[in-house]
Structure 1
Amino acid sequence: MSSQTKESIEFELLTTSQQIADLARTLSAESDIAIDTESNSRHGYPEKVCLIQVATKSHVYLIDTLAVDDMAPFGEVLADESVMKVAQGAEYDVRCLDRQWGFRIRNLFDTAIAARFVGMERTGLSALIETLLGVTIPKLARLQKSDWARRPLSPEALSYAATDVSHLLDLRKILDSKLRALSRSTWAAEEFERTEDIRYTGPDPDTAFLSIKGSRKLNGQQKAVLKRLFSVREAEARQRDRPPYFVLPHETLLLLASEPKSDLASIPALKRQHRSRLGRQLRTAIQQGFTDPPIKNPPRSRGIPTTPITIERLQKLKKWRLKLGEQLTLDPALLWPMASLERLAKSPHTLDAELGSPDVRRWQREEFAAALGAALG
């Protein structure tokens, strides 16, 4: 097994719109390319894509997206169905590209998804490169967690980014061969298509504050205060270009909402800020929250109640899926959605309708619907 240093990968750094236009023409002539992205979610707010890595069979390109004005030609390549895009765990990349530019990826091959469908347990990029290519790549936590928006990027960071994308095309060849040998190519392909269709959905400003753990335990007036405090923190995070939690922890917002008469100076996260503009805004938010109408928790969806019979039926369905996974050497979660099994446990007579559920894949219906019906009895 060989060990590869990050400095061994050669790459070209692109920083102008003309270079992107030229790259797009080059990539359009390729049958497949590898892509990856680096964002600054740990350091900036709202997060942004700071670097895009692209690999062909012979070259690696790093796109400095903070320097390039016009990324549209690259977006056209992503949408070109004649060029396969190979990525690792692409769901996050798909959302980021949609959020920032409205780009769509077509003809995707996700190596992490493919690895799951050939029965691999370790599906992280480093693990796949080591297992399938015999190459060990050092992973440095400080680079994984670094601020990709800082400029200039160090040679070490650039080499790290280039290394991540440089092996994806080789991984795709091996995984595609394994999928074909197992007759699972169509299974994986449907999952690739589902990943392509993922879109970024921003938080609802009216209900985003309820995402804070513990918020539902507050009474109606306290929730109104929390909503005001949440909005203040959101605005401050955008102004500072810092993730909201680093402006004020969730726990501090909950404390102020539940104990609004607290002395800000006595709260650890506010000791140095209680007399600042932020401190004044928080006090105003608390006062406004007390004049706002109380907020009720959103109603919980009420389905068919759980009974001992439905619990027993669900256990039976889980055992069916687990046994199927053992037979195929696959993660049982791939074989049938748990949400679907839970619905069937409560309403077994709805199997025909359930087969049309968006949760259920075409390949699952074709391969396992009959066996599922038998398991339901």
Structure 2
Amino acid sequence: MDEFRVIETPAEFDDAVRRLLDGDGPIAVDAERASGFRYSQRAYLIQMYRRGAGTFLFDPPQIPDFSALETAIRADEWVLHAASQDLACLREVGLDPDRIFDTELAARLLGMPRVGLASVVEELLDVKLAKEHSAADWSTRPLPQSWLKYAALDVELLVDVRDRLAERLVEAGKSELAAQEFDAVLHRAAKPPAAEPWRRLSGIHAMRSPRNLAVARELWLSRDALAVELDSAPGRLVPDASILAVARTLPSTRRALADMRDFTGRASRTELDRWWAAIERGITTTELPAVRVPSDSPPPPRAWASRNPEADARLRVAKGAVAEVAESFGMPVENLLTPDFLRRVAWSPPANPDAASISAALGELGARAWQVEATSQTIAEAFVEASQSLRDATSTDS
């Protein structure tokens, strides 16, 4: 078996840059993080492959400056699978491509039934990839050889996959729309930090008491501070379910907290004073959080029939029409048009919802040109049909 070496010294790094420059064609890129183990989303291993150059496994914690590599390969096409998952951690170390080919996204646009890397490789290349280390703690040092082999295989076949997908995109007449989608992923703005990130607690929406919410907030903030300090995934310290159990119960003493069977996690008892202090802050604070957070998003569609029957009719008819267009394109409906865009236009349509105004509205929301062209006329016609149906129903009732 080949021995895989991790690049961690200046000499090894410089040699890798030279060899990548001497290679040919696109560069396959992947990154491994330690999600579920560490607080940060930094890359703990970066893999690259290029024909004529070989495979390179970089150790980011040991490489202080990736600028020479960035300069060498930035203008070349980078091939990534599910690029949106890796671009942020690559940019964190200074690696940012000018153009990409996203093999997962290409598979979706082609309507492939399974788009995970192992499934795509098997369908296109008839090669089975083992995925036994996909959820490993990549901050482990030294990295075992079996993990390095797994990581290398993730990029060694990726350029061949890219070529097969590119051929299929040409055959399906989807090369241009794929290019627009790749560019959109590459230039998508990062989401701004949430104003109240503690509201991401799983199950928090079912909590209706401001006091209980205040305790949940203080526990989340305390857990987050400890997670940052230890660089540990917060859920490993105290799971979300445990925070919500405490917030619902509101234990009256430190002892009562310690006796809670639902309060689990590796730091639930070792940091008991921390958690009890957070509970006390939540119980005594006068700064109570709002139960409902204002949002510019439309309400859940299940509420539309009673709150806005016209919008409900527009959405129902338009969803069916857009689904037919997606079927004709041979791709999932969410890749044809982001469902939230359709909901927003249906809830608050232009004053004159013809194809031109629907096109403008979709463009402002962020739909790509090909998506606008494929759906705007269909949506406009669906809105007219929905309006006519409501008028007919009203006329019949009267």
Q: 1:97 Cα deviation (Å)?
A: 2.0
Bigger shift: 112-121 or 327-336? Answer: 327-336
Q: Does 1:301 align with 2:296?
A: yes
Which of the pair has the greater relative contact order for Cα pairs under 8 Å at 6+ separation? 1
Q: String of CA shifts for 1:302-358, please: whole Å, max 9, x gaps.
A: 759643333232222122122222223222222223223223333262524314223
Bigger shift: 176-185 or 236-245? Answer: 236-245
Summarize the alignment of residues 1-377 of structure 1 with structure 2, pairs less than 5 Å apart.
Answer: 7=1, 11-29=4-22, 30-58=24-52, 59-77=54-72, 80-81=74-75, 83-98=76-91, 100-140=92-132, 143-198=133-188, 200-201=190-191, 203-204=193-194, 207-216=196-205, 217-258=207-248, 259-261=250-252, 263-268=256-261, 269=263, 276=270, 278-292=271-285, 293-297=287-291, 298-301=293-296, 303=298, 306-346=307-347, 347=349, 349=353, 350-377=357-384
Q: 1:244 Cα deviation (Å)?
A: 0.7
Bigger shift: 14-23 or 165-174? Answer: 14-23
SS of the equivalent of 2:39 reads coil
SS of the equivalent of 1:61 reads strand
Q: 1:182 Cα deviation (Å)?
A: 1.9
Identity rate, percent: 28
CA distance in 2, matches of 1:308, 1:60: 58
SS of the equivalent of 2:363 reads coil
CA distance in 2, matches of 1:324, 1:39: 38
SS of the equivalent of 1:66 reads helix
User: Aligned pair in 2 of structure 1 residues 39, 175: CA closer, same or farther (>3 Å)?
Assistant: same
User: Aligned pair in 2 of structure 1 residues 106, 273: CA closer, same or farther (>3 Å)?
Assistant: closer
Q: 1:211 Cα deviation (Å)?
A: 0.9
User: Aligned pair in 2 of structure 1 residues 344, 22: CA closer, same or farther (>3 Å)?
Assistant: same
The two structures have a TM-score, normalised by structure 1, of 0.87
CA distance in 2, matches of 1:107, 1:312: 41
Q: 1:180 Cα deviation (Å)?
A: 1.4
Count of aligned positions: 363
CA distance in 1, matches of 2:224, 2:106: 38
Q: Which runs of 5+ in 1 are unaligned?
A: 1-6
- Amino acid of the residue matched to residue 134 of structure 2? Q
Q: 1:168 Cα deviation (Å)?
A: 0.6
Bigger shift: 344-353 or 280-289? Answer: 344-353
Q: Which residue of 1 aligns with 2:390?
A: none
The two structures have a TM-score, normalised by structure 2, of 0.82
Q: 1:200 Cα deviation (Å)?
A: 4.9
Q: 1:16 Cα deviation (Å)?
A: 1.6
Q: Say if 2:227 and 2:234, in contact at 8 Å, map to a contact too.
A: yes
Q: Say if 1:109 and 1:172, in contact at 8 Å, map to a contact too.
A: yes
CA distance in 2, matches of 1:22, 1:128: 32
Q: Which residue of 1 aligns with 2:391?
A: none
Q: Say if 1:274 and 1:280, in contact at 8 Å, map to a contact too.
A: no
Q: Say if 2:169 and 2:175, in contact at 8 Å, map to a contact too.
A: yes
- Amino acid of the residue matched to residue 210 of structure 1? R
SS of the equivalent of 1:56 reads strand
Q: Which runs of 5+ in 2 are unaligned?
A: 385-398
Q: Say if 1:34 and 1:87, in contact at 8 Å, map to a contact too.
A: yes
Q: 1:148 Cα deviation (Å)?
A: 1.0
Bigger shift: 110-119 or 328-337? Answer: 328-337
CA distance in 2, matches of 1:361, 1:237: 39
CA distance in 1, matches of 2:228, 2:346: 46
Q: Say if 1:265 and 1:271, in contact at 8 Å, map to a contact too.
A: no
Q: Say if 1:20 and 1:73, in contact at 8 Å, map to a contact too.
A: no
SS of the equivalent of 1:135 reads coil
Q: 1:255 Cα deviation (Å)?
A: 2.7
Bigger shift: 9-18 or 209-218? Answer: 9-18
